[in-house]
A and B are shown apart, each in its own frame.
Chain A
């Protein structure tokens, strides 16, 4: 699995999760976002279009990052959840906690 990071024209850090976001690699996502926060970035979009599955550790890292970003006065949006991942967020009621857009484009427009 791997993460792709790019900075869009509006200054949004767009992080693509290619593969799984699970216990074995969640720290990579955490350090990507933490370093960006330290550099002064404040807008984050996590794009799940190419994501296979997410486990509870992956969900946990998203929750903790959303808190950190909010505490830093930043903004986090999620996009590209397939039906399985939507179910996952609904089951855990995390859909009420995150700003979720269907596509990365819609999410970017909302910043």
Chain B
């Protein structure tokens, strides 16, 4: 039981649960987490953080959580875990020391000192952040050359790029890939009616045997119906015209070229 109350572990409980999704951050009156609340409370004691009264701090925090829970029913687990841990620490600090401390439990004073140290550390980092923020910053307080003179540039084999850019590029595409659905483009066919009309128009000029390939439109390689579609539609149309007696078709053997010509019934007769 005591192991679970080590200060280094208690914050991870909610964190690991949220590991798969977005981090759950409940902003309780502008505090980002229990440690930030504790820090704000500790400051009100106006002593060196390392000399802090953990008992007082625990009381203040428990009161804070009570209040916050009153206002917001769904208080983040982190806050409650910290509350439970502080209550436990407080009880141990108040209890008379056992003659023989149980070996698996660190002395309460030591745990309290660690908490104080953690707060001091966080405080130091906040101060550091503040100092960085208020110090002179480029293009805010200090400015570089506004109009740098051109230096002739030669291309080189060095290139720009960092790991983050590489990872972003990768993820960007994988995300695109997962959203992409397969939409086959329906093939464009050469309409039979068009083929028939075209053949009829060509008919007066087709008094000699002409290969089918020469009759069918050549088409364009990039857009429109494919060459195969042109040939197939033209063949079908020509067969219709043959049936109607306007045209003749012949093929010498299987797979050989097909030849077409207009039927000149009157002329031959």
The answer on A and B forming one complex is no
Point out residues on A near B: beta carbons under 8 Å.
Answer: none
Point out residues on B near A: beta carbons under 8 Å.
Answer: none
